[in-house]
Chain A
């Protein structure tokens, strides 16, 4: 997505940074997150998950702004973003910003 005009206070606003977490085993390869990410951070990978779908992967490290749209639009609860700003908790501070992390693998439904 491109801005159609440059915001006048762009240098004063701190752009948030986020980190995408992909629960690959749950993904059904619908492509919504890839299509609607406003920063085009994701592409469909050519790897397969266990069910044979192509999950997304992050290609533009450091550009996720933690808008949360992927989290809202994914119908399979397979992707979300967390804040990667300093001062946010735990592991994030030590890792490269905007990277992908593997979320918890989906539990197999035996029934």
Chain B
């Protein structure tokens, strides 16, 4: 005979990560045994421990399950169109260079429809932290094949098993020019948090792939149990190999997952390249955009929008 949990001694304590979350939207929509919440927890912890100015952190998500992350984080949050989180983030960063912009989205969003933007942002060394939660599937829309779905895995659009070779994401990122490339699973909470902290402290195009379980779609369609079983799989089959050659860390179906930090270099970012170049070619004539951004705002203008609109009515 089961009963509803009795409230024995209601404490006023809230989860330590609550200041980073929009608590009025918790509980979140992610399924039981989904790993996205864990990744959010690690990222928020890393933000806190990095002591960055949270007012200057912007988070941009695309569409999909992971795309909902922006909606739950208490930062300037942008839930944009499918695949376009990276160029949106590029606009944010270039419009106000002092912002620290994180892109948090899923595998289908970032390297499927968003593939073109991914490779160019890496090539340019846009100063973005890109967190890609890889659940090997398009979860939100019901389990379709993704560019990361391993060979032979079943999905709703490959009902007889996937025959398309998937991306090797660290290889893709590294070969396009990302200067920090790491992969973890969401089981590796502490290492993932440490990786986030490292990436937050660095500049340039930083890419962290996090393998996360998808219970309702990937696990169910492939009869792998639930996300819990996938976590046990990560436990037994993840291998940490820092500095591994990114071209060799493919993920086969229910095969070993090589984790670790694969690339960590320091190279000038896009803005640094731009500034250095214009200073060299234009000298004194170069006027860089200030770090506070290109907004032209009249500080004396104490009128608000209604007054402005009203005054124009009278013109």
A residues neighboring B (CB under 8 Å): 21, 23-26, 28-32, 35-36, 45-50, 53, 55, 69, 71-78, 80, 82, 91, 101-107, 109
Which one of A76, A102, A104 lies within 8 Å of B27 (CB-CB)? A76
In the complex, are the beta carbons of B189 and A77 less than 8 A apart? no
B4: CB under 8 A from chain A?
A: yes
In the complex, are the beta carbons of A80 and B232 less than 8 A apart? no
- Does more than half of chain B's interface fall in helix, strand or loop, or is it mixed? loop
Which one of A47, A73, A77 lies within 8 Å of B3 (CB-CB)? A47
Which one of B14, B226, B232 lies within 8 Å of A104 (CB-CB)? B14
Tally chain B residues at the interface, Cβ within 8 Å.
45
Given A47-B3, A74-B37, is A30 in contact with B32 using a C-beta cutoff of 8 Å? yes
In the complex the two chains form, what is the Cα distance from A101 to B10 in whole Å?
8
In the complex, are the beta carbons of B13 and A101 less than 8 A apart? yes
- Residues 5-30 of chain B: 1 if any A CB is under 8 Å from the residue's CB, otherwise 0? 10111111111111001011111101
In the complex, are the beta carbons of A105 and B25 less than 8 A apart? no
- For this complex, 14 residue pairs linking A to B, each with C-beta atoms less than 8 Å apart, are A23-B14, A28-B32, A32-B231, A36-B187, A47-B2, A50-B4, A71-B41, A74-B37, A75-B36, A76-B28, A77-B41, A103-B14, A104-B14, A107-B24
In the complex, are the beta carbons of B5 and A48 less than 8 A apart? yes
Contacts of B10 in A (CB 8 A): 102, 104-105
B residues neighboring A (CB under 8 Å): 2-5, 7-18, 21, 23-28, 30-38, 41-42, 45, 186-187, 189-190, 193, 226-228, 231-232
Min distance, Cβ B212 to any Cβ of chain A, angstroms: 9
Q: List 9 additional contacts besides A25-B5, A26-B27, A102-B9; criterion CB under 8 Å.
A: A30-B228, A31-B33, A73-B38, A73-B187, A75-B30, A76-B37, A77-B15, A102-B11, A104-B11
